[in-house]
Amino acid sequence: MKTAQGIARDVQSGESSATAELENSLSAIGARNEELNIFLYVDEAGARAAALSVDERVAKGENVGPLAGVPIAIKDNMCQTGIPTTCSSKILEGWRPPYNATVIDRLMACGAVPVGKTNLDEFAMGSSTENSAFGPTRNPLDPSRVPGGSSGGSAAAVAANMTPLALGSDTGGSIRQPAALCGLVGMKPSYGLVSRYGLIAFASSLDQIGPLSKTVTDAAMLLEAIAGHDPMDSTSLPEPSPSLVAHVNDGVAGKRVALVRELVEGADDDVVASVNRAVAALKDAGATIVELSIPEFRLGLSAYYLIAPAEASSNLARYDGVRFGLRVNGEDVAAMNEATRTAGFGAEVKRRIMLGTYALSAGYFDAYYGQALKVRTQMIDAFKRAYQQADLLIGATTPSVAFAFGSKTSDPMAMYLSDVFTIPTNLAGEAAVSVPFGTGEAGLPVGVQLLGPGRSEAQLFAAARVLELAEGRP
């Protein structure tokens, strides 16, 4: 399949058309969506109208934008006017938002063509896309395995060549982990770089929208299109979108890269081997390599599994059957709320709401939530110290390659552990990218993770590009 960069260039030059590119995308979806369960909704009519409008503007000689005619898949936790948006939850089944997320407006303004909504773990809570009320998504590289999660549908859409680009959201690794498991580039941008307005909240202080794509340049193009200050999001960083594409070939010469012991600890051997080969490739490209231990990373999981559920328990209170979505009746309003929530939420969502409610409740706040916020401070300080010794950090994205269906569903703790390498970045609000590098068990891709301080996206893409080139990808 063509890259987004290639499509945008061809559509703008008239060599191809948005309509033709969209039809390619729609037929790829038609061919495998039933088998893989990637798209929950395909907006054929809306996408065709958007593509046609791009083509008309090109015909008039207009510059449509950097993503002219590029089909893109949207994780189904981002609101798009009139398009069913479910968060893969029964509680939102049938709901059509009356407004666009800021990222949707920005994509349209850049000429991109949103084709539909992709499956996810319900309310983005999960690491395998098995927790969807609408069935699991299969990994296109090996349909007996999970695509990762929670942005499993978006990752699978790109891996299955249905769209060159997809938007995911990353609260504890939900872009990077599926990117790793599906052999893609996936970035969790700095907190506040991309507007969260219209992203259905899981954990507000951790959530970020980011790109999934096959190439580093495509990811940079997509992020550049959606990033930058948004007055609708109070936590949005004040500056405009950074220049990223222009820097993808900046390389790593002279950069200090630290291999972090805790980011390979417990990982499969072939995963560790890939990380080591990636370190060597960066060294070959002129980077200085150091080794670091950041013991605070070991506490990330504990802090995360109190902070994220605490915020979620409050964010998910509004699904009460009163204003939108599912209602299951009861004799009074409280009974109706309870019946609705009990029927509408899946087990993992209930588990996290319960955990978060407990962590915030009277008598437990200080011991759990309060303590977790302090660990978060320590995590931030630990990162700061690390960045005095290195420009970027490197490690694995996940401990293993894509795992089989059902292998972790009965044990929540085992599932949570698959996010152990990605969580520290979310707690610190910093940036990290997963880039495919080498293969592991059964020839499945391994993701190597590069981490950088806030606003280091350009450097991260440049380092990821070095690895991409080292792998012989164009």
Partner 1 sequence: MTSPLRREDVAHVAKLARLSLTEAELDLFTEQLGQILEHANDMSTLNLEDVIPTAHPFGLVNVVRDDVVRPSLDRDVVLAMAPDAQDGRFAVPRIMGEAP
Partner 2 sequence: MTSTSAVSTLDQVMERWEPVIGLEVHGQLLTRSKMFCGCSADYIGSPPNSNTCPVCLGLPGVLPVMNRVAVEYTVRSALALNCEIPEHSKFDRKNYFYPDMPKDFQISQYDLPINSGGYLDLPDGSRVSIERAHLEEDTGKSTHLGGTGRIHGADRSLVDYNRSGVPLVEIVSGPDIRSSAQARAYVAELRGILIATGASDGRMEEGSVRIDANVSVRKPDAVFGTRCEIKNLNSLRSLQRAIDYEALRQIDVIEDGGSIRQETRHWDEILGVTSTMRTKEEAEDYRYFREPDLVDLDPDQAWQDRIRESLPAMPAERRQKLTARVLDPTPAQLDGVEVVIDLGLEAFVNAAIDAGADPALAIARAANELAAGIDDLHNLTLESFSATVRMEQSGELSSTQAKTVLGELLASGGDPKAIATAKGYEQLSSDSLGTTVATLIEENPDEWARYREGDEKLAQFFIGQVMKVTKGRANGKAVIAELQARR
Count interface residues toward partner 2 (CB under 8 A).
Answer: 45
Q: Write each residue from 308 to 327 as x if it is in contact with partner 2 (CB under 8 A), else as -, in one continuous string.
A: --xx-xx--xxxx-xxx---
Amino acid at 426: N
Q: CB pairs under 8 A, 24+ apart, for 228-237?
A: 228/193, 230/102, 230/195, 230/197, 232/102, 232/195, 232/197, 233/102, 233/192, 233/195, 233/196, 233/197, 235/191, 235/192, 235/196, 235/204, 236/192, 236/195, 236/196, 237/190, 237/192, 237/193, 237/455
| Candidate ranges 125-133, 149-157, 353-361, 456-464; the one touching partner 2 (CB under 8 A) | 353-361
Q: Is 75 a catalytic residue?
A: yes
CA angle (163 as vertex; 159, 169 as ends), nearest 5 = 75
Is position 174 annotated as part of the catalytic site?
yes
**Identity of the residue, 273 or 336, whose beta carbon is nearer to partner 1 in the bound complex:** 336
Which residues, numbered 365-394, are part of the site for partner 1 (CB under 8 A)? 367-368, 370-378, 380
Note whether 444 and 141 are within 8 A (CB): yes
Using an 8 Å Cβ cutoff, are 191 and 454 in contact? yes
Tell me how far apart the alpha carbons of residues 384 and 399 are, in angstroms, rounded to a whole number.
25
Does 199 engage in binding with partner 2 (CB under 8 A)? Answer: yes
148 binds partner 2 (CB under 8 A): no
Question: Applying CB under 8 A, which of residues 29, 179, 200, 326 lies at the interface with partner 2?
Answer: 200
- Judged by CB under 8 A, the stretch of 12-20, 55-63, 247-255, 332-340 that binds partner 2 is 332-340
| Candidate list 246, 333, 335, 367; residue touching partner 2; CB under 8 A | 333
Stretch that binds partner 2, among 47-55, 203-211, 374-382, 388-396 (CB under 8 A): 203-211
Looking only at the bridges linking them, the beta strands covering 431-439 and 288-292 are unpaired
Contact present, 282 and 467 (Cβ < 8 Å): yes
Instruction: Report in angstroms how near the CB of residue 384 gets to partner 2 at its nearest.
Output: 20
Q: What is the 3-state secondary structure (H, E, C) of 105-123?
A: HHHHHCCCEEEEEECCCHH
Among 41, 123, 191, 421, binds partner 1 (CB under 8 A): 191
Residues 91-110 that bind partner 1 (CB under 8 A): 95, 98
Q: Which does 377 bind (CB under 5 to 8 A by kind): partner 1, partner 2, none?
A: partner 1
What angle (nearest 5°) sits at the alpha carbon of residue 133, between those of residues 130 and 134?
85
Tokens of 108: 């349209």
Which of 84, 251 has the CB closer to partner 2?
A: 84
Q: Is the peptide bond before 27 cis (omega within 30 degrees of 0)?
A: no
Residues between 79 and 98 that touch partner 2 (CB under 8 A): 79, 85, 87, 92, 95, 97-98
The residue among 444, 316, 466, 296 whose CA lies nearest residue 384 is: 296
Nearer to partner 1, 9 or 455 (CB): 455
Nearer to partner 2, 95 or 405 (CB): 95
Catalytic residue among 16, 127, 128, 150: 150
What are the distances in angstroms from CA 200 to CA 41, 102, 195?
17, 12, 12
237 interacts with partner 1 by CB under 8 A: yes
Sheet with 39-42: strands ordered across: 39-42, 113-118, 71-75, 165-170, 208-213, 185-188, 431-439, 445-452, 392-396, 256-260, 288-292
Nearer CB in complex with partner 2: 297/369: 369
Which among partner 2, partner 1, none contacts residue 354 (Cβ within 5 to 8 A by kind)?
A: partner 1
Give 253 or 333: the residue with its C-beta nearer to partner 1: 333
Q: How far apart are CA 256 and CA 452, in angstroms?
A: 11
294 binds partner 2 (CB under 8 A): no
**Segment lying near partner 1 (by CB under 8 A), choices 14-22, 281-289, 326-334, 445-453:** 326-334
118 contacts 83 by C-beta, under 8 angstroms:
no
Q: Which of 60, 61, 388, 413 binds partner 1 (CB under 8 A)?
A: 413
- Point out the catalytic residue in the list 25, 75, 151, 400: 75
The catalytic residue among 174, 274, 313, 418 is: 174
235 contacts partner 2 (rule: CB under 8 A): yes
Nearest alpha carbon to residue 421 among 279, 268, 281: 268
Angle between helices 44-59 and 18-36 (to 10 degrees): 160
**241 contributes a contact to partner 1 by CB under 8 A:** no
Provide the minimum distance between the beta carbon of 129 and partner 1 in the complex, in angstroms, as a whole number. Answer: 20
In the annotation, is 117 catalytic? no
Say how far apart CA 431 and CA 423 lie, in whole Å.
Answer: 11
Tokens of 180: 């790793």
429 touches partner 1 by CB under 8 A: yes
Residues that bind partner 1 (CB under 8 A): 95, 98, 191-192, 205, 231, 234-235, 237-238, 298-299, 301-303, 305-306, 313, 317, 320-327, 329-339, 341-342, 345, 350-351, 353-355, 357-358, 361, 367-368, 370-378, 380, 412-413, 416, 427-430, 454
Active-site residue list: 75, 150, 174
